[in-house]
Chain A
Amino acid sequence: MTTIKKAVAAAVVAALVPAYAAAQGTPAPGEAPLKIGVVSFLSGAAAGPFGVPARNAAEITIEMLNAAKVPAPYATKGFGGAALQMQLVDEAGSTTTQVTEFRNMVQRDNVDIVIGYISSGSCLAIAPVAEELKKLTVFFDCGTPRIFEDKSYKYVFRTASTATMDSVGAAFYVRDTMKAKVKSIAGVNQNYAWGQDSWTDFEASMKQVSPGVKVASSQMPKLFAGQYNAEISTILGAKADVVHSSFWDGDLEAFILQAGPRGLFKRSTVILTTGETAMYKLADHIPDGVVIGARGPYGPYAPDNELNKWFSKTFADRYNVPPNYAAYQMTQAILGTKAAWEKAQAANGGKRPSTEQVIAAFERLNFESPAGKVEMAIGAGHQAITETAYGVAKKVKGKMTVANVKRYPATMVNPPDGVKSSDWIANGFKK
């Protein structure tokens, strides 16, 4: 090809790019709908238990908001009258992909707000980019406390508690329900940040709650290993009083299926901090007495308020399964953003608020969600705290329920503002 032909080809390619960009659509001024970028796992292992339920929750919440069918205090249409338009992005792929897609959403597709992210790795990578691009971003599920403990952000919020709460709550539940003194603990957690941090926090909390407790074994199999015979054998041999696991999805289910017939649940008290996602499906394999966590007051631990009644019924009617904690968290994020938006709009004389005004309204906001009260109390007003609850599985007339539920108020299971989780635990949970 001659140089001229090559230049023409290059020009054509160069022209395609802006054409593609233009095809994305530019926002109309005035009463344009609000574009919400929703990021959740649509493929891969996390899609089943978290990604897709969260997407479903986003879908139905946005639909109901646009039809103004949500109970008070969220009865107005959309966000303050403006309709909502959802743009869905798959959270799968490397962090490079996620950052690329975030930038595309914000700069190419002109979304107004981004709500999403389940993986802590994504959240850590996206937060500085959100700050750089000055786009309001609400994390709804990722657990790492590092986001607001390592740095502070203006444009980033998280409307669910961090994973620290799960581990601390589990330790408190053990303290309050196990009559005999706990002498040894063991753990089976996935060998990556989530599992490592969950175990570290649980171990540290147990050492505060039961001084002198020994770690009989800490198993850290690879994520998605699927085969846990060796780990189960080791834990059985360790004869610990309490076994902690933050396994999720396929790994959790495989673990339950493999551990049950081998008698692990009979030998030790097993705590499954994300057990709620598997409790109905695997009801026949979870014996009574297994401690079930839902990462907060979600699912079976949700309060019996109007919002929850509306949410669980609407979700179950549409998707034929009750909403799990990922679904609750997504709806919580959307409703929290709505509350902040409308507060800012009211302060702005009824006109559409700017991003900065919404941020000012969001900081230290308290709002209601189907899971109860949410306070944006720590992380300089950007990180939410909620209460948590733990209970044990119990079959009542063949149906899986939770019993012996203990609730812990938000300030008891979350660190105070400005204090790092690990320091807070090491100092005996000082308020």
Chain B
Amino acid sequence: MSLEQFLAVLIDGIIYSAWLFVAAIGLTLIYGVMKIVNVTHGSFYALGAYAAASITGALLARGMPPALSYAVLLGSALLVTLIVAPLIERGILRFMYVKDEVVILLITYALFLILEDAIKLVWGVNPYFIAEPYGLLGSFDVFDLTYPYYNLILVGVAIVCGVGLAWMLNHTRTGKLLVAVIHDTEVSRAMGINVDRMYLFTFTFGSLLAAIGGAFTAPTVSVVPGLGVEVIVLSFAVVVIGGLGSLPGAALGAVIVGLVRSATVHYLPQAELFVIYLVMAMVLAFRPRGLFSIAEARKI
């Protein structure tokens, strides 16, 4: 194993991990606070990607300077989430929290199916892409390998999201209220915390993170129908490995999956298809609740 190969595995792994992390933290946040497994996570990822691709593409065609496109990516994700997420949470989910967690999962699955076709109706079936933000910053070389700087932006977005979320949870009032709700919803409600408002905020914020993931991925891929489907399963795997509801868990899970996958691609390409599920199964076999699970009191 040469140094060049090792570095390639490392860099590719980190880039993939960053992408996984951004895609997955929204999911773990929503689970941690609301205790729901949110399948619409994939839809918001797709919505973010479609919105970013179409809005940025349209603005670039009208002569917007490409340097602004990064802000537009973020703005598009924000726009689409602020429209759709509250609609879903207030319109449907709000009435469902009393139900079993599996039933809520199925409700989000039904919503996902509906959103898939809704996206198709709005944006059509043809692929969208906006490549300018990707190529704009040029690339750098590591030995013989060339990497666009854009990948570093993705890593940057991941770090900002992670650190930002951690800061918010620990140092802002809303964040501390959220932590209270994460630990015990009933007691929080009894203490006077407006849990409904917390839920709305969490769902919107978690979905926004998914949309940001999609928006910043859009310049590197072609946005097609079905974009959200793959992300759901991958995000689940990452979040479960790290422990549902745990932010450092999601980070660790993303890093593990990213590096393992990268190594597999370089050294054992045949196993690439299922290696992530293998890791998931193995982690669950030894730590049934994931690596960093939230302590839950046993109720007799």
Direct A–B touching, Cβ under 8 Å: yes
How many A-B contacts at CB < 8 Å in the complex?
A: 126
Select the stretch in A163-171, A203-211, A256-264, A408-416 that faces chain B.
A256-264
Q: Give the interface residue-count category, chain B.
A: 35 or more
Cα–Cα distance between A125 and B61 once the two chains are bound (Å):
45
Q: Which B residues contact A (CB, under 8 angstroms)?
A: 4-5, 8-9, 11-13, 15-16, 19, 116-117, 120, 125-127, 129, 131, 134-135, 139, 144-148, 151, 217, 219-227, 229-230, 261-262, 265-266, 269-270, 272-273
A221 CB within 8 Å of chain B: yes
Residues of chain A from 246 to 265 with CB closer than 8 A to chain B in the complex: 249-250, 252-254, 257-258, 260-263
B125 touches A48 (CB 8 A): yes
A47 touches B125 (CB 8 A): yes
Which one, B5, B230, B269, contacts A226 given CB within 8 A?
A: B230
Cα–Cα distance between A254 and B270 once the two chains are bound (Å):
21
Q: Chain A residues with Cβ under 8 A from B144's Cβ?
A: 236-237
Also in contact, A249 and B270, with CB within 8 A (given A231-B265, A237-B4, A262-B147): no
A-B contact pairs, 6 of them (CB 8 A): A191-B273, A220-B270, A233-B12, A252-B222, A257-B129, A281-B129
B270 touches A229 (CB 8 A): no
A424 CB within 8 Å of chain B: no
A45 CB within 8 Å of chain B: yes
A183 CB within 8 Å of chain B: no
- Rounded to whole Å, the gap between the CB of A46 and the closest CB of chain B is 9
Also in contact, A48 and B15, with CB within 8 A (given A234-B8, A261-B139, A263-B146): no
Q: Chain B residues with Cβ under 8 A from A260's Cβ?
A: 135
A227 touches B127 (CB 8 A): no
A48 touches B127 (CB 8 A): yes
Q: Chain B residues with Cβ under 8 A from A47's Cβ?
A: 125, 225
Residue in chain A with minimal CB distance to B120: A43
A367 CB within 8 Å of chain B: no
B265 touches A254 (CB 8 A): no
Residues of chain A from 18 to 51 with CB closer than 8 A to chain B in the complex: 42-45, 47-49, 51
B273 touches A253 (CB 8 A): no
A230 CB within 8 Å of chain B: yes
- Rounded to whole Å, the gap between the CB of B120 and the closest CB of chain A is 6
Which one, A52, A220, A254, contacts B220 given CB within 8 A?
A: A254
Given contacts A230-B13, A252-B222, A258-B221, 15 further A-B contacts (CB under 8 A): A42-B125, A43-B125, A44-B226, A48-B126, A48-B225, A220-B270, A227-B217, A230-B265, A234-B8, A253-B221, A253-B222, A254-B221, A261-B139, A261-B146, A262-B148
A218 CB within 8 Å of chain B: yes
Q: Chain A residues with Cβ under 8 A from B273's Cβ?
A: 191, 220, 222
The 5 A-B residue pairs with the shortest CB-CB distance, nearest first, are A253-B222, A250-B224, A254-B221, A230-B12, A230-B265
Cα–Cα distance between A181 and B262 once the two chains are bound (Å):
32
Cα–Cα distance between A219 and B229 once the two chains are bound (Å):
22
Q: Chain B residues with Cβ under 8 A from A214's Cβ?
A: none
A249 touches B224 (CB 8 A): yes
A364 CB within 8 Å of chain B: no
Q: Chain B residues with Cβ under 8 A from A262's Cβ?
A: 139, 145-148
Also in contact, A234 and B146, with CB within 8 A (given A52-B125, A258-B220): no
A219 touches B125 (CB 8 A): no
Q: Which of A45, A252, A260, A261 gathers the greatest number of chain B CB atoms within 10 Å?
A: A261
Residue in chain A with minimal CB distance to B231: A226
Cα–Cα distance between A224 and B19 once the two chains are bound (Å):
15
